[in-house]
C-alpha cells in the first residue's frame, strides 16, 4: 500500500508569487523510511503540513492536485481524523509541549479522541517506553533535555496510534548523540511496528544507515530521489543542492582527490575502517614480497 501519494500538487501561500510546493508526483510506500533533504525554503515544512492536512485546511492558500494518505483522499477528512493516520512532530521541541507533565502530554491526543481511560493508560506507558522515557510520567516537559523533549513529542504523536510519522527537522536542537538516539528510535518503530517514517532534514548526517530513500528538494520541487548510497556517489551534488552530506562521505571524496588508486567508497566510520584496513593490508603484503 502507498502511505502518501501526491499527484500534480501545487501550493502557494497567500500573497506569494512562487509556488511553495510544486510536485507532479511523489509516492511513499507503507513501511518506508524516507528522508527529505533540502535547504532553507525548499518546502520541507510545507510538505509535512500537507501530509496531515494542516495545509490547506488550516493554513489556507492556493491549492491544486490530489493528496492521498493510505489511499484515503486527504481533503475528505478533518485534521483530527488524519491525526490517527499521520503523527506530526514539529521542529521546535519547546512550543509543541504545552502540558504540565509528560504523561498528560502523551494522553492529550487519545483523550481528545475519547479513547477509554484504561486504553489511554496503556498507550501512555507503551509510548513513553518506546521513546525511552519510561517512568518520567510526572516530569514537567519544561525540565526535560532537548532530546527528551523531542522524544516526548514523538510519544505524544504515537499515542494516537498513527501508521505514519512525519517529523520536521527533529534533530534541529539535538547534539550528535541525541540525533543518533532519535533516528534509532524511529528506525525501531519502522522495523518493529511497520511505521512509515518521513524525516525532513537539512543535513544528511547519520541518516544513511537509517533511510531507505533520500528525496532531494529545492524551491518547492523534488529534484532527485533514490537510495542514500546512490545519491551519495557524488557528495558534491548534495552540497550543490544546499544539503550537507555526511562528514564521512566528504572525507572519502577528499581522500580520493589525492589518490591515484581506485576511489574509496565509505559513508560511515565502520565502512571507512574496513575499507582502509583492506587497502593497507594489500600494501604491506606487496612490500613483503
Instruction: Record the cell numbers describing residue 139, joined without a space.
Output: 516530569
CB 89 within 8 A of CB 165: yes
Q: What gap in Å lies between CA 79 and CA 83, rounded to an integer?
A: 6
DSSP 8-state secondary structure symbol assigned to residue 207:
T
Q: Name beta bridge partners: 49.
A: none
Residues 46-85: x where in contact with ligand ATP by CB under 6 A, - otherwise, as a string: x---------------------------------------
For residues 154 and 90, give the distance between their C-alpha atoms in angstroms, rounded to a whole number. Answer: 9
User: Cβ distance 212 to 191 under 8 Å?
Assistant: no
- Of 108, 225, 250, 271, which lies in the binding site for another protein, with binding defined by CB under 8 A? 108
DSSP state of 182: H
Q: Site for another protein (CB under 8 A): which residue of 85, 120, 167, 171?
A: 120
Could you tell me how many residues of this chain bind another protein (CB under 8 A)?
44
Pick one of 6, 35, 37, 38: the residue that binds ligand ATP (CB under 6 A): 38
What phi, psi does 16 have (nearest 5°)?
Answer: -100, 150
Kindly report the number of other CB atoms within 10 A of residue 180's CB atom: 16
| Residue 100, C-alpha cell as written in the block | 504540565
- Using CB under 8 A as the binding rule, whether residue 171 contacts another protein is answered as no
Q: Does 81 bind Mg ion (CB under 5 A)?
A: no
Task: Tell me the C-alpha distance between 289 and 285, whole Å.
Answer: 7
Candidate residues 2, 29, 45, 140; the one interacting with Mg ion per rule CB under 5 A: 45
Which residues on adjacent β-strands are paired with residue 165? 87, 197
**Closer residue to ligand ATP (CB): 45 or 256:** 45
x-or-dash string of contact with another protein, 57-96, rule CB under 8 A: -x-------------------xxxx-xx--xx-x-x-xxx
Smallest distance from the beta carbon of 130 to another protein, in angstroms?
17
Stretch of residues binding Mg ion (CB under 5 A), selected from 16-24, 45-53, 137-145, 233-241: 45-53
| Residues numbered 12-51 forming contacts with another protein, rule: CB under 8 A | 49
Q: Shortest approach of another protein to residue 104 CB, angstroms? A: 7
240 contacts 39 by C-beta, under 8 angstroms: no
**Residue 145 touches another protein, criterion: CB under 8 A:** no
Q: Which of residues 191-230 bind ligand ATP (CB under 6 A)?
A: 202
Structure-block grid coordinates of residue 69: 494518505
Task: Give φ, ψ of 67 to 5 degrees.
Answer: -125, 125
Please tell me whether residue 41 binds ligand ATP under the rule CB under 6 A: yes
Which of 127, 157, 182, 241 touches another protein by CB under 8 A?
157
From CA 218, how far away is CA 41, in angstroms rounded?
8
> CA gyration radius for the chain?
21
Binding site for another protein (CB under 8 A): 49, 52, 54, 58, 78-81, 83-84, 87-88, 90, 92, 94-96, 98-101, 103-104, 107-117, 120-121, 124, 140-143, 156-157, 160
Binding site for Mg ion (CB under 5 A): 44-45
Binding site for ligand ATP (CB under 6 A): 13, 16, 20, 38, 40-46, 202
Amino acid at each position: 500500500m502507498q502511505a502518501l501519494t501526491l499527484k500534480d500538487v501545487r501550493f502557494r501561500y497567500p500573497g506569494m508569487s512562487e509556488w511553495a510546493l510544486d510536485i507532479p508526483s511523489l509516492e511513499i510506500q507503507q513501511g518506508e523510511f524516507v528522508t527529505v533533504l533540502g535547504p532553507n525554503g525548499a518546502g520541507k515544512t510545507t510538505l509535512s503540513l500537507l501530509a496531515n492536512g494542516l495545509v490547506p485546511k488550516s493554513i489556507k492558500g492556493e491549492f491544486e492536485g490530489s493528496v492521498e494518505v493510505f489511499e484515503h483522499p486527504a481533503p475528505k477528512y478533518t485534521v483530527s481524523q488524519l491525526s490517527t493516520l499521520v503523527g506530526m512532530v514539529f521542529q521546535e521541541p519547546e512550543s509543541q509541549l504545552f502540558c504540565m507533565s509528560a504523561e498528560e502530554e502523551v494522553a492529550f491526543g487519545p483523550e481528545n479522541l475519547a479513547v477509554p481511560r484504561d486504553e489511554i493508560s496503556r498507550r501512555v506507558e507503551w509510548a513513553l517506553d518506546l521513546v525511552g522515557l519510561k517512568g518520567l510520567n510526572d516530569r514537567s516537559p519544561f525540565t526535560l533535555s532537548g532530546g527528551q523533549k523531542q522524544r516526548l513529542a514523538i510519544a505524544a504523536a504515537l499515542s494516537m496510534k498513527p501508521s505514519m510519522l512525519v517529523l520536521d527537522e527533529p534533530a534541529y536542537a539535538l547534539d550528535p548523540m541525541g540525533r543518533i538516539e532519535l533516528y534509532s528510535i524511529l528506525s525501531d518503530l519502522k522495523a518493529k511496528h511497520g511505521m512509515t517514517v518521513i524525516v525532513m532534514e537539512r543535513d544528511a548526517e547519520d541518516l544513511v544507515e537509517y533511510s531507505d530513500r533520500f528525496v532531494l528538494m529545492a524551491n518547492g520541487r523534488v529534484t532527485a530521489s533514490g537510495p542514500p548510497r546512490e545519491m551519495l556517489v557524488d557528495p558534491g551534488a548534495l552540497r550543490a543542492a544546499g544539503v550537507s552530506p555526511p562528514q564521512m562521505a566528504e572525507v572519502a571524496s577528499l581522500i580520493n582527490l589525492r589518490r591515484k588508486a581506485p576511489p574509496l567508497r565509505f559513508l560511515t566510520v565502520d565502512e571507512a575502517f574496513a575499507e582502509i584496513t583492506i587497502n593497507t593490508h594489500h600494501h604491506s603484503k606487496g612490500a613483503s614480497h
